[in-house]
Chains A and B, each alone.
Chain A
Amino acid sequence: MGAPMSIELIVLIVVITALVFDFTNGFHDAANAMATSVATGAFKPKVAVLLAAVMNLVGACLSTEVAKTISSGMVDDALVTPQTVFAALVGAILWNLLTWLFGLPSSSSHAIFGALIGAVLFQAGMAGVHWSIVVSKILLPALVAPVVAGIASFLATKISYHGEHNAPKDAKKRYRTAQKVSSLMVALAHGTSDGQKTMGIITLVLVAGTMEIQQIFPDANPWWGQAPGSSPHWWVILLAGLAIALGTYSGGWRIMRTMGKGMAEIEPPQGFAAETSAMAAILASSHLGFGLSTTHVVSGAIMGTGLARTPEEVRWKTGGRMLSAWLLTLPAAAIVGAGAAWLAHLGTGGFIGVIVVLVVLSVSIKIISSRNHISHENVNDSRDVKVLAKAALSSQTSPIPNPFIPPLPEKLGDHPMANTTMRLTQLKKPKPKNKGTSYPTTPRNETPSTPKADSRG
């Protein structure tokens, strides 16, 4: 079994793990606020994540209402020990990394809830979990959130385009400006909610650790000690805020690509509609007692706006993969959480084993991701996030028709010169794509006869 670890060491490990989770939360959810803005060119990619990081930090520091319980009543709180929290964090981190690898937006909140459920299931079996709360506070909102946001975004897009297929150039410019505001607000909202979640986790661990020490040494008062019900330490607020901000700044470009390009082609009015719908859903739900996942809300809104303007170009396959990830989040995180809990309860050796497994898997995921590296420089260059297959070179194959290379007229195909022309066309490199350029969308029944100019206002 191994010798028991000191309480201080356990608390330290859990706090560090919580900050790591906060970091993964940051880059995993960076796309929620900024994906559409990056896709339409409202913000340059690096500027987008910098601003989102600042807003996340501000939001995290603004909120003083730390979560009373990280479980929201889903599990018996008496079972939530530092070891349980540690196992839950490990499960959530690994699920976040895995979905990031595949570029799949999924809820970090659901990941930690699922991992927590798994850890408690290992400790206390089915009796430790309040399944009715799981249904009413997690599953049902998870189903409702994307649908509601999608409907709102759909209607808003229809209104914005009022019958037109493409927005006029000057209108796009105004909507880009509006998008900047709406995306910053989503980033701020994300900071206030997700930032304080990790603060709550750390605070609860400090409280639990203090109580455990005081059971042995009643007069003990460690410097990090915390009484039940007290406000978080200033350094907890700062560290949690910095962790989520740094994670946001690192970009999460794989998920950014999926949300910005992988589901539907987005123009500025659509981006504004999607972000506004997400904002309204997040604010309404938080004030009326429902916690909706930002990821689910924004993803649903993007699908809704894509359906409103270019329904034939919505990528249902990506939507299906995303839905699969959402459905798998709870059970998959629960399995990992249960496994981590089993190892952690073996003693010091088990704890170290969990850390080793976490580090090894994290590094492995990072190495695999480097096969198809996505960064701020190429985030808009494709719609797909490839994992194991080598990404095609953009000069040879392009998943998006290049509007700068006109197709040959049909009747020219048999002329001897056609072969020469075709070879020259294939050799001609496309112009480097500007970051965040929004491609003019051509309906399928039209063939572009002339190269279209950049539609950015």
Chain B
Amino acid sequence: MGSVNWMALLQVALVTIGATVAIATLMSAANWAFTPVAGADTVTGGRRILGFVLLCVTGLLIIFGLYLMIPYFRS
């Protein structure tokens, strides 16, 4: 009854670290994409598109988090 579920604890740790690192990487990559290259004043079209795609993927992950959070979607 009181035994510790170490596997679940490990899963929580790995999922937490993995998800956080993934979202941070996407956000950081999006920021990189929106930053003009050295010597340039504006961001090229390709980098801007890449930035928006990365932001959209980040947003989808956050929406997935909402899906996990709201019981109505899981009932």
Instruction: Say which residue of B20, B66, B68 sits within 8 Å of A273 (CB atoms).
Output: B20
With contacts A73-B1, A159-B24, A170-B35 known, is A284 near B9, CB below 8 A? no
> What are 11 inter-chain pairs, A to B, with CB distance below 8 A?
A64-B71, A132-B1, A136-B2, A144-B13, A152-B19, A153-B20, A159-B25, A160-B27, A185-B66, A185-B69, A281-B12
Grouping DSSP codes into helix (H, G, I), strand (E, B) and loop, the B interface class, with mixed when no group exceeds half, is helix
The interface size bin for chain A is 35 or more
Instruction: Say which residue of B1, B21, B58 sits within 8 Å of A155 (CB atoms).
Output: B21
Q: Which 6 A-B pairs have the closest CB atoms?
A: A132-B2, A156-B24, A152-B20, A284-B15, A280-B19, A281-B16
Instruction: Say which residue of B8, B31, B70 sits within 8 Å of A290 (CB atoms).
Output: B8
Instruction: Say which residue of B9, B23, B58, B69 sits within 8 Å of A188 (CB atoms).
Output: B69
Minimal beta-carbon separation of B3 from chain A (angstroms): 7
Q: Is B62 an interface residue (CB 8 A)?
A: yes
What is the bound-complex CA distance between A283 and B1, given in angstroms?
24
Q: Contact check, A63 vs B2: say whether CB atoms are below 8 A apart.
A: no
Q: Is B17 an interface residue (CB 8 A)?
A: yes
Chain B residues with CB under 8 Å of A157's CB are 24
Q: Is A151 an interface residue (CB 8 A)?
A: yes
Q: Is A71 an interface residue (CB 8 A)?
A: no
Residues of A within 8 A of B (CB): 59, 62-65, 73, 130-133, 135-136, 140-141, 144, 148-149, 151-153, 155-157, 159-160, 162, 168, 170-171, 174-175, 178, 181-182, 185, 188-189, 192, 272-273, 276-277, 279-281, 283-285, 287-290, 292
Residues of B within 8 A of A (CB): 1-5, 8-9, 11-13, 15-17, 19-21, 23-25, 27-28, 30-31, 34-35, 58, 62, 65-66, 68-72
Grouping DSSP codes into helix (H, G, I), strand (E, B) and loop, the A interface class, with mixed when no group exceeds half, is helix
Chain B residues with CB under 8 Å of A140's CB are 4, 9
Q: Contact check, A62 vs B27: say whether CB atoms are below 8 A apart.
A: no
14 other contacts beyond A155-B21, A276-B23, with CB at 8 A cut-off?
A: A62-B70, A62-B72, A73-B1, A135-B2, A141-B9, A148-B16, A159-B21, A159-B24, A178-B27, A182-B62, A189-B69, A281-B16, A283-B69, A289-B8
Q: Contact check, B16 vs A280: say whether CB atoms are below 8 A apart.
A: yes
Chain B residues with CB under 8 Å of A132's CB are 1-3
Q: Please give me the residue from chain A that is nearest to B68 by CB atom.
A: A283
With contacts A130-B2, A148-B13, A181-B62 known, is A277 near B27, CB below 8 A? no
Q: Please give me the residue from chain B that is nearest to A171 by CB atom.
A: B31
